[in-house]
Every structure is written in structure tokens, then in C-alpha cells.
Structure 1
Amino acid sequence: MKKPSKGDAFQGEQRLYQIVARRLARMIEESRHEPSWRLPGERDLAEMLEVSRPVIREAVIALEVQGVVAVRGRSGITILPQADTGSDESLADADIFDLLQARNLLEPGVARVAATRAESFDFTVLGGLVERMAAGGAENFVEASMRFFATISQIAGNPVLRSMSEALLADWLRSPFLNRFGPHLFSPERVPLWIGDHHAILSALTMRQPEAAARAVSRHLDNISGELRLIISKEEDEDERGRSADARQEPVMTNRPATR
């Protein structure tokens, strides 16, 4: 009998990592109450599910973003208690420029560390995410971009930096400002700029240049801030013109003497 090739077990229109993530989530749900059970390591999961290790890594990142698991250095993949999968504390309602400033203080340093630790299959994962950004659609782009930066934080290998970075990314995604201005910020005419930024980050990481990677991340976040200010300013100008037009159209009320 012919042995199935990697990926043959998972066919369909959905992305492979999403299918694998659901398989892993079901595996966790079915076994989490067994005291001695642990999720197998990346290599064992790849062999078990007949997919590549980069696909397993992407699936684990997806589960980590959902709060199902945590990757903690040499401890491997840790299953989070169900009660701890969410948090009541969030900075999602913070000013979006404060969130961008916080990201710009943290993420360049994370990229600097990642540039010294990345391996060849990390570049494969990051390159695939950049390709996904170009597939079209604001939601598709935002998802792939957030996974791009989450992957960099995983590559860096520092669980404290990773936790801080992923918390900021989660707050950024939940920001009502991003929900409001995201369609403009990630519109088709701006996407080439963002893809270029991600290519620059990936290039610096691939060449293992820590300072270049840090600068590329900082430049990307500065570009987002600049474009966002332009969008907000344009909207404010349009609102002001609308109010002026409404004021001109309002009828002038005059006091006329009553007719007999």
C-alpha cells in the first residue's frame, strides 16, 4: 500500500495550518483531563499528522493566539487551563497611537533577537505569510501580518518578550480604531507599501542582520502611524466640509409680523 505523502491526509479549500490547528484543538479537548497527558512535540506532531514542521508551527501559533496553548522556551507546548484562556484586562480601547508607540518600543528589539536565532524553516513560514498578505482582502492581510509578527516573537525564544508582544498584538487587533480605519489603512492601494515593509523585515532576518531587522520593523510601524494620521486627517476634513455644507443649507428663520 502506498504511504500517503505529507499533506495527503488533509485536503480541501481551507489552509492546511487551520485544519491542523482544529485537529490539535480536538486532541487537546479530548485529553486535557488526563493528568499524565502532554501534547507531543513539534517533530512528533509533524510525523503523526503527516505534515511539515512549519505547518505544525503555524497551527500552534494559531492556538496560542486563541489562548489554548503557550510555548514556553524549553518547556515546549503547554496546555493552558480553560479558565485562563481569556483575560478581563485589555488595552484594546487605548489610543491607537499609544498602542503603535508601545509596539515600536518592543517589536524592533524582538526582531533584533530573532535575527540571531532564526533557522531556515522559520524563513519558510515567514515567506508563506508574506505571500498570503498579497492574496487580497483587508482581513486576509491583517491576519497574515499579525501571524508574521507573532512568529518573529516565537523565533526570538524569550517567553517574556513573546508574551508582551502577543498581548500588544491582541489589543491592536481588538482596537475599535483599527475596526474603524482598517479598511482604509489596508486598502488595495496601500497594501503594496505594507508588503514591501514585510519583505524588508524578512530580508534582514534572512541575512541575520539584527540592526537592519530592528530598523525595518520600526520603519513599518512608523509608516502605519503616518498613513493612519493621513486617513484620520482626511476624514476630519470631510466631516468639517459636511458640517459647513449643512450650515449653508439650513433655512434662515425671520420674525415676520403677523398678518391680519
Structure 2
Amino acid sequence: MTRFRPCIDLHQGKVKQIVGGSLRDEGAGPTENFVSDRPSSWFAETFRDDRLTGGHVIKLGPGNDEAARRALAAWPGGLQIGGGIHEGNAAGWLDAGASHVIVTSALFDADGRFLADTLDSLVRKIGREKLVIDLSCRRTPDGWTVAMNRWQTPTELVVDHATLDRLAPFCDEFLIHAADVEGLCRGIDADLVALLGKWGKLPVTYAGGAATMLDLELVEQAGCGAVDVTVGSALDLFGGKGLVYKDLVSWNGRLS
């Protein structure tokens, strides 16, 4: 059955909710839906107290390491960490308290070509049971293409069952943001969720667009109960109006 998994998105050292497709290295800053005056540790403590396991901290660009470490310290072993993770720093983030590291961009060269040897080396260093592969993607006429560098750069890797089969021996879970609907609160990409649910061989967490409890029910239905979901901008905890945090805690409670 579908579980709600919490998230802590960090941008410029603060907990924020932003429109994923608005992230850019140059030009105007991203579109911000919410900026918290509470530290990252407060959110981690809240998720810990409510026993919401399998959540993640995502560092969106530079200047977020301190806030990420505060969150991990508040709940050692309770959160995954992603954003700028590579072979050189992965072990350090695990030592800082992350249950898993989440990797995307480090698995590709500058032109978006997949680096199989890099993945193999990372797994040898930290173990597949500590790795989450992020296949966050953008929709194309033919399906979905993995996008790296905060969802700005398309890669050669498509999101389909063949790719999931190819990468499954190297990781413990997959995380997949639908970047085109991330932060818009206009509903999920049900087609993508259905593709993921029909695969169902490892834990998969979907993120992007969930705005109401009906969206969570749709994830469970379209994903055949095999896809978990994370919620950001629509959640009252992050200034949203479509979803109530305590309702999501209760949603998970039905599984116990």
C-alpha cells in the first residue's frame, strides 16, 4: 500500500518549497511557494516524533550543507540525503546520520551520458543497501527522460522498465520527481506513476503535483499500491492549503 514519505527541501540554507521546473543556474531565482522561518531540525524532529520513515532531505544547490547536517543530527538514521552527492562525499553524509544517499547528477557526464563505472565504484564504496538512485525526469513525446543538475539538463537515460531493471541491482530504492509538475499543486503525473507501479520490484517514491487526498488515492490506485508518495507545496506544514499534515500521518497509520 502507498505510504506518505516526508521531505525537507533546502535552498540557500532554508527550508523551502519551490516550483521544480523554475530552478536555473543563471538568471532569476526559482519560483518560491514557501520559505520557512523554522530550522530544518524542527521538521526532522516532527517527522521523527510521528514515526514517518523513509523521508529525504534534498539540497537544491550550494549553501545547504549546514542545514542538511542539522536535520540529519535531529534524526540519525531517519532521513535520506540528496543533492550534490558523489563518491567523494557519500560516506561522509552517511557518517553524518543519513540512512541512504540519493544520487543523480554524479552518474552522468556533462553531456548527460550515463557513467556505469561510476555507479559501480560508488556501490563498492558504500554498498547498494545505502544507495537511492534518483531518476527525476521530464516528460518527452516518447515518455520520460532523466534530468540532472537540478532538473535542468536532460540525459540519455529514459525512465522505463528496462532502465529500472538495469539499475535495480545497484540500489536499495528509487526516487522519482516529475519535474514538470513539481511544486505546481495541479495533480500528479498518473501515467508515470502507473509505469512505476507496474514495475514494482523495489521501493519507489514518487514526487510531484500532489495537491489533495484524492491525489494520494490516485497514486495508490495508479501505482498498484507499489509506489510511495511525498508531498511538498500543497501541505499545510509548508504553507499549503490542499493537504493537512496530520491527515497524512493518519494515512500512514492505517498501514500499521
Asked if TM exceeds 0.5, the reply is no
Which protein is richer in strand relative to its size? 2
Which protein is richer in helix relative to its size? 1
TM-score using structure 2 length? 0.30
TM-score using structure 1 length? 0.29
